[in-house]
């Protein structure tokens, strides 16, 4: 069956996208459009194909990309996926088609719109990941677990987990992405994905509401006092401060609470 402009619907996962790339080559749908199932709004004239995530197909595409892209180019391709933007997914599909159809090193050809688009999305995701590493401030709960809630523009939690695992290898911690309703828990051995909802943590449900460690409260106040004591009111520059610490990141910093 010939489809003029097929619409590929995948589950939003990395392996799902790679499977979609495999299906494009299997069916020679090189002009395909790609969407996540949750975000797609169909019309009666659309020709839709639902991608069933397949580990073997995804692995074949993954290995093919690793062979054709150098380490930096593959990292760029991988980072762009976490933008969670439909335009980003489309650029990734188009770039994969371009890479597989053209021999030689083509990943640096920024004259190609897909290569340029992937690079821009990857840079945005990379900046967000870097800022999360810089601005996350854990708070210690009474059970010894260090906890932080984030709300990043992009899905950077999988990209920063290794950084915190290496930096805080001797203490348990949780970083929770409230925007995407999942988090990562490190138990001093391995990192596990977790899900829960803060609004369900009520005493009448039997769920234990965790409180902060007494020492954490003291350190929090000590840091605020230090911040206030070192601030020179006459030299305060709000504009410059916002350039270095944007407003949307200040909720992670206790000196701005």
If asked whether residues 177 and 228 sit together in one domain, one would say: yes
pLDDT tens-place string over residues 102-113: 988 888 899 999
Q: Could you give the CA distance from residue 20 to residue 114 in angstroms, rounded to a whole number?
A: 17
Say which range, 128-132, 199-203, 220-224, 233-237, has the weakest mean pLDDT.
199-203
Q: Could you give the CA distance from residue 209 to residue 202 in angstroms, rounded to a whole number?
A: 7
If asked whether residues 141 and 245 sit together in one domain, one would say: yes
Taking all residues of the chain, what is their mean pLDDT, rounded to a whole number? 83
Q: Could you give the CA distance from residue 60 to residue 189 in angstroms, rounded to a whole number?
A: 31
If asked whether residues 155 and 190 sit together in one domain, one would say: yes
Domain contains 2: no
Q: Could you give the CA distance from residue 257 to residue 254 in angstroms, rounded to a whole number?
A: 5
End-to-end CA distance of the chain: 60
CB 213 within 8 A of CB 140: yes
Question: How confident is the model at residue 204, as a pLDDT?
Answer: 47
- Polymer length in residues for the chain: 257
If asked whether residues 142 and 242 sit together in one domain, one would say: yes
- DSSP label of 28: T
If asked whether residues 225 and 251 sit together in one domain, one would say: yes
Higher-confidence position of 73 and 220: 73
DSSP, collapsed to helix, strand or coil, labels residue 241 as helix
pLDDT confidence bin for 202, thresholds 50/70/90 = very low
pLDDT over 90 percentage in the chain? 56
Domain contains 29: yes
| Domain of residue 61, residue span | 7-127
Domain contains 115: yes
CB 133 within 8 A of CB 160: yes
Question: How confident is the model at residue 137, as a pLDDT?
Answer: 83
Domain contains 1: no
If asked whether residues 51 and 143 sit together in one domain, one would say: no
If asked whether residues 97 and 34 sit together in one domain, one would say: yes
If asked whether residues 22 and 91 sit together in one domain, one would say: yes
pTM for this prediction: 0.77
Q: Evaluate if residue 19 carries a pLDDT over 80.
A: yes
If asked whether residues 104 and 180 sit together in one domain, one would say: no
Report which secondary-structure segment, H or E, holds 191: strand 191-194
Domain contains 25: yes
Domain contains 147: yes
pLDDT tens-place string over residues 37-59: 988 877 666 788 999 999 999 99
Question: How confident is the model at residue 229, as a pLDDT?
Answer: 63
Residue carrying structure tokens 């299997």:
26
CB 54 within 8 A of CB 97: no
Q: Could you give the CA distance from residue 78 to residue 92 in angstroms, rounded to a whole number?
A: 9
If asked whether residues 156 and 208 sit together in one domain, one would say: yes
If asked whether residues 141 and 252 sit together in one domain, one would say: yes
pLDDT confidence bin for 223, thresholds 50/70/90 = very low
Question: How confident is the model at residue 66, as a pLDDT?
Answer: 96
Domain contains 91: yes
Domain contains 85: yes
Residue that is last in its domain, among 127, 156, 189: 127
If asked whether residues 121 and 140 sit together in one domain, one would say: no
Report which secondary-structure segment, H or E, holds 44: none
- HSE of 12, CA atoms in CB hemisphere, 13 A: 10
Residue that is last in its domain, among 127, 150, 167: 127
CB atoms within 10 A of CB 41: 6
Query: What's the structural domain count of the chain?
Result: 2
Rg (CA), the chain: 22
Residue that is last in its domain, among 127, 160, 179: 127
């Amino acid at each position: 069956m010939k489809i003029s402009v097929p619409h590929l619907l995948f589950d939003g996962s990395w392996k799902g996208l790679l499977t979609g790339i495999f299906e494009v080559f299997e069916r020679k749908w090189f002009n395909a459009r790609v969407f996540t199932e949750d975000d797609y709004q169909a019309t009666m004239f659309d020709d839709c194909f639902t991608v069933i995530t397949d580990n073997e197909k995804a692995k074949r595409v993954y290995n093919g990309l690793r062979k054709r892209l150098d380490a930096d180019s593959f990292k760029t391709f991988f980072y762009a996926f976490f933008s969670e933007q439909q335009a980003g997914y489309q650029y990734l599909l188009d770039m994969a088609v371009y890479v597989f159809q053209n021999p030689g090193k083509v990943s640096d050809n920024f004259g190609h719109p897909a290569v340029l688009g992937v690079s821009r999305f990857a840079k945005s995701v990379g900046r967000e990941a870097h800022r999360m590493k810089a601005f996350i401030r854990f708070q210690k709960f009474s059970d010894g677990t260090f906890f932080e809630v984030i709300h990043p523009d992009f899905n950077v939690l999988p990209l920063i987990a290794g950084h915190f695992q290496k930096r805080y290898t001797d203490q348990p911690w949780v970083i929770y992405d409230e925007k995407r309703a999942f988090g990562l828990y490190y138990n001093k051995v391995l990192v596990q994905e977790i899900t829960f909802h803060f609004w369900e943590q009520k005493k009448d449900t039997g769920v234990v509401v965790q409180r902060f460690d007494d020492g954490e409260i003291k350190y929090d106040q000590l840091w605020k006092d230090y911040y206030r004591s070192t601030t020179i009111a006459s030299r305060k520059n709000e504009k410059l401060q916002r350039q270095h610490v944007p407003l949307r990141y200040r909720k992670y910093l206790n000196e701005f609470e």
